[in-house]
Amino acid sequence: MTQGSSGRSAVARGVDTGLDRPVLLAVPLALFAVVEVMARGAGPGTDFVYGVLLALGTTLPLLLLRGQVLVAATTVTVACLTSMQSDPMVLTVAGFAAQLIVLYGLGLSAGRPLALLLILPYLVFALADTSEAARRYAVLIAVGSAGLAATGSDRRARTNAAALTATEQIMADTLVEHAARGERARIARELHDVVAHHISMIAVQAETARLTTPGMPDAGAKRLLDIGDTARAALTEMRRLLGVLREDSGVRAPQRRPQPGLTQLNELLDEARDASGTFARLIVSGQVAPLDPGIELTAYRIVQEALTNIRRHARGAAVDVELHYADDVLRLRIRDNGPGPPASPSSPGHGLRGMRERALTVGGELRTGPAPGGGFLVEATLPIPQEEGT
C-alpha cells in the first residue's frame, strides 16, 4: 500500500511540474487571441462579441490544466470546433496553440485514449464539406495534437516508471537495513555470551590461583594479578565495543563454532565449579526430549550468561540450575544464594538485556529479580512447538 501510494504521489508531482508553464500561458494567449480578433477588422457588434467569447473560450481554460485537465481539454476542443464552423472562421492562432497545449497536457496526465478521443472530431471535421481553410486547420490540429498527446503520454509513462523504481529501491534498502540491524544485534549477543564468558573465567581463575596457591612467589602472584586486571579491562572494553555495535556500527563477526545445546549444560557447570570453586548443581524434571535447536541454544546461552553474572557479582555463591520439561514449554530457573541485586540498581547491562532478547526471539519471556529467601533468580519460559512436545 505504501509503495503504490508513493508511486502515485511521485507521478502526480511530475504531472504538476510538467503543466506549470502552460498554465502561465493562459492569460497571454487570451490577450493575443482578443487582439487577433480585433485586428481582423470586426467592429463593435454581435459578431465582435461572439468572436471575443470564442477567443477566450479557446485560451482561458488553460488555467484549469493543473487541476481539471479533462475539463480544460474538452472546453478548448469544443470552442475550437465552434470557431472553425463559423462563417467566416474565427479560430485564432492563439486558440490553435491552446488546443495543442491542452491535448499534450491530457496525454501527460491521463494517457493517450482520452486525448485520441478529443482528436477524433477534427478528423471528422476534415472529411466534412467545409471551407478549405477549416479543413487545413483541422488536419494540422489532428496531426499536431496526436504527436503532442503521444509525447505527453510517453513522458507520463517514464515518470511513473521512475517513481516506481525509486519506491522499490527505497523499500529494498529499508529491508536490507532492517536485516543488517537484526544481524548486528545477533552478533552482539553471541560475542558477549561466548567471548565475555571465557574472559571472565580467565579473570576468576587468575584470582583464585593467586589466593589459593600456597607458597607462591611474589613475582608469580603479581603476574596472576596482572592477568586478572587485564581480563577485567578486556571485559570493560568489550562492553564499550558492544555498545557501539548495538548502535549499528556495521561490525561483522563470522560464526563457525557448532551451536551448543542442553546436553552441554553439565560441561558448563563443570567449568563454573573449576573456575571459582562454587557449588553448582543441575536439576532436571519432566519428560526429557530433544528440542528445537534454537530453543536449546537459547536456554544454554541464558544459563551461560547467568553463571557469568554470578561469578562477577556473587563470587563463591552456590547455584541451582533447574530445567522443567512440560508438554508445551521449557521452564528454566537459575538461582544463587549470593547477596542479591544491589539496593540501588542501575540500568540493566548487556547481559540481562541479551538474555531477555534471546527469550523473546523464540516467543518466550524472561524474569529477573531477588529470589525468595535471598540471592538472585533468573526465570525463563520458552514455548515448545507442538510437534516437538509430543
8: Cβ contacts below 8 Å, ≥ 6 apart = 163
Which residue segments constitute the domains of the chain, with CATH numbers given?
Answer: 2-171 (no CATH), 260-390 (3.30.565.10)
| pLDDT confidence of residue 69 | 80
- pLDDT value of residue 98: 83
pLDDT of res. 22: 66
Q: Shortest CA distance to 386 belongs to which of 327, 304, 323?
A: 327
Q: Report mean pLDDT in 10-residue bins for the chain, 390 residues.
A: 42 46 75 80 64 83 79 83 74 80 76 69 71 71 71 71 76 75 72 71 76 81 83 76 64 53 86 79 88 88 88 84 92 89 58 83 89 90 70
Cβ proximity of 115 and 99 under 8 Å: no
Q: Name the pTM for this structure.
A: 0.39
Helix (H, G, I), strand (E, B) or coil at 89: coil
Q: Show Cβ contacts of residue 147 under 8 Å, excluding neighbours closer than 6 positions.
A: none
C-alpha–C-alpha distance, residues 377 and 129, integer Å = 100
- Strands of the chain (E only): list them: 280-286, 319-325, 329-336, 365-370, 376-383
CA-to-CA distance for 378 and 308, rounded, in angstroms?
13
- Of the candidates 173, 186, 205, the one whose C-alpha atom is nearest the C-alpha of residue 311 is 205
Helix (H) or strand (E) holding 299: helix 293-313
| Cα Rg of the chain (Å, integer) | 41
Express each pLDDT in 197-241 by its tens digit: 777 778 777 777 777 788 888 888 888 888 877 887 787 777 777
Question: What pLDDT shows up at residue 14?
Answer: 39
Q: Are strands 376-383 and 329-336 parallel, antiparallel or unpaired?
A: antiparallel
- Separation between Cα atoms, residue 210 and residue 108, nearest integer Å: 84
pLDDT digits (tens, 9 = 90+) for 140-190: 777 776 777 667 667 767 777 777 777 777 777 777 777 777 777 777 776
